Amino acid sequence: MPTAILAFNTNNQLAIRRAGASAQLAFTGGDLPETLARLEAAFQAHTGPRAAFTTGDDLQVHLAQVTGEPVDREIHFASIDSLQSAPDALDPVLAGVLAQLDPHLIAIPYLHLGENDFIYKFRPDKERNSRIYQLDDNARALYQSQLCSAIKALSRANERTASAPVPLDFGAVRYLIPSHFGFCLGVKNAIERAYETLAENPGRRVFMLSELIHNPYVNEDLRRRGLLYLQTDKGEPIPDNAGPRLGATNSTQKTARVPLLWDTLTPDDIVIIPAFGATDDDKRRLVRKGIPVLQYDATCMLVEKVWKAARAFGREGFTIIIHGKHEHEETKATFSNARRHAPALIVRNLAEARILTDIIQSDSGDSSVLAAAREKFAATFDGKHTPGFDITRDLQRVAVVNQTTLLMNETLAIIEHLRSAYAAKYGPVEAAARVGGNAKRDTLCYATQVNQDALSLALAEPLDAAIVIGGKNSSNTYQLYRLCEQGLGPRAFFIQSERNIRSLDAIEHYHFPAHGPRVTAAPFENTEIKPLPRPSAPGQPLRILITGGASCPDGIIQQVVAKINSLLPAQTIRPIDAVLGDLERHDKPA
């Protein structure tokens, strides 16, 4: 059967053959072996051809990735966008192939990977690039902390297992720091990739698809070094305010549309995908523009683990239930991946899971009951499910995966609630086959979980207050705050840095939008000014738990400690060297 191999370079540009002014398919033949031989005559290094689709003219189309320059001088590389922008210059066969290519673009950057391979594995400690955290005084202040380094050396015998919290005795105040806090490996990988990419590509525009991590100080430091952002953390494209307005003349300059940064991208630009991952739509846009994807894809491998579990569940006939926030970048990426393999639905919390099980249990022969269930589903899950989702067909068998930054206990509660509902409807034996999940498919992030476990151990100690540090849009930081609030109520604080501590009587506590009533005290929108509690007994030191979310740099944690210390009488505070000495003595065997 006639065959074509579409050969792409690492910039996702297609190899074409120029015949005069016409662009043609570069590699075609009567069958696959003949076509492959022609590919190998032009490129020594290539991946094995992967079947993609068959055109209406019975042309079998395969995809391959090549490296190096072609031997044949008639072969050139061009982006999909540039080819389709000049349709009159396309051979009809090539034009027909490009018209069917869009669903397959997502595979092109990863043709050399097996389906069980990870895009970007965590670097072992010996391969970490510690230099990027010491580029200058700003980087050192943001990322370096003698206290945090000493705490980690003392308390982290195992990266995946929480241990007892570490006390810091400063005299008038005693801090309690959980064994695990701050940057996870996925965040470290993404940060190092960003700084390295900027350093290795002077003179080129380097973009981040959206926020690198949910920490304003890290993002601002990268922006100061030249990093640009294509869209907000909500996926809203950022305008190119520095460029000319589209369609503008002297008389229409004010009303013409401001172009988006997306519109200005060229194959010379670099776009980094953050640890949260990216949607298929965003990746396809990059591929069409001929921009490298794999080389700058910093998706956390624990997020990718969720995608692989969703794929496996889908192949087994389960509908994928994603426990997550539909507006969060990670959940958007997971939903985008899951929908390739199965119907998918996003459930925010246990309350929504209860609504879902009410709908499942109302599935009966009564048309009015079914109609009411459909209305409830549409009202609750609008914009959170795959197109054409049918509650009678797509809720027969379900399996749960999760946004990695949420509370493990809530994901487990949703799974158990679903199992109970299916058992009530079908009996326990059949329910076991209708609700998927086992230890091998666990999609809970160990880094998120160990931070939560370590915090729980610290919360068991006597405390006057707890301060959780992280970005305002950081989901995992908010989950840590929720644990503190459950134990300490109003004595728990959510802040972004030491700048939120005005005085001991005025701490700017941030109310996460998803939690409780919105508090406004202009100009501190969503912020409540609260006093730090005083010691529970006269003459006792103030006992404060401090932790940071997975996107909180160590330097900010130490700066919070220093700020609180500075607000207490200097003669009552022990010097930091004395506290570091305490830690060093504890670290030595007796």
Beta bridge partners of 66: 46
The DSSP symbol for 273 reads B
User: Which of 82, 66, 89 is CA-nearest to residue 11?
Assistant: 66
Q: Is 503 helix (H, G, I), strand (E, B) or coil?
A: strand
pLDDT per residue, tens digit, the chain (590 aa), is 899 999 999 999 999 998 888 999 999 999 999 999 999 999 989 999 999 999 988 999 999 999 999 998 899 999 999 999 999 999 999 999 999 999 999 999 999 999 999 998 888 778 888 888 888 999 999 999 999 999 998 888 777 889 999 999 999 999 999 999 999 888 888 899 999 999 999 999 999 998 888 889 999 999 999 999 999 888 899 998 754 444 444 544 455 678 899 999 999 999 999 999 999 999 999 999 999 999 999 999 999 999 999 999 999 999 999 999 999 999 999 999 999 999 999 999 999 999 999 999 886 678 888 899 999 999 999 999 999 999 999 999 999 999 988 888 888 899 999 999 999 999 999 998 999 876 555 677 888 889 999 999 999 999 999 999 999 988 889 999 999 999 999 999 999 999 999 999 999 999 987 544 444 444 446 899 999 999 878 889 999 999 999 989 999 999 999 999 999 999 999 999 999 999 988 765 44
Known catalytic membership, residue 330: yes
This prediction's pTM: 0.89
CA distance 396 to 392: 7
In order of start, what are the domains of the chain with their CATH numbers? 3-110 (3.90.79.10), 145-183+448-515+523-587 (3.40.1010.20), 185-238+260-296 (3.40.50.11270), 301-403+406-444 (3.40.1010.20)
- Alpha-helical segments (H) within 225-279: 261-264
User: Which of 261, 280, 263, 155 is CA-nearest to residue 208?
Assistant: 261
CA distance 53 to 100: 8
CA distance 38 to 28: 8
Of 192, 211, 304, 330, which residue is the catalytic one? 330
Residue type (1 letter), 16: I
523: cis peptide before it, omega within 30°? yes
Q: Contact, 578 vs 166, CB < 8 A?
A: no
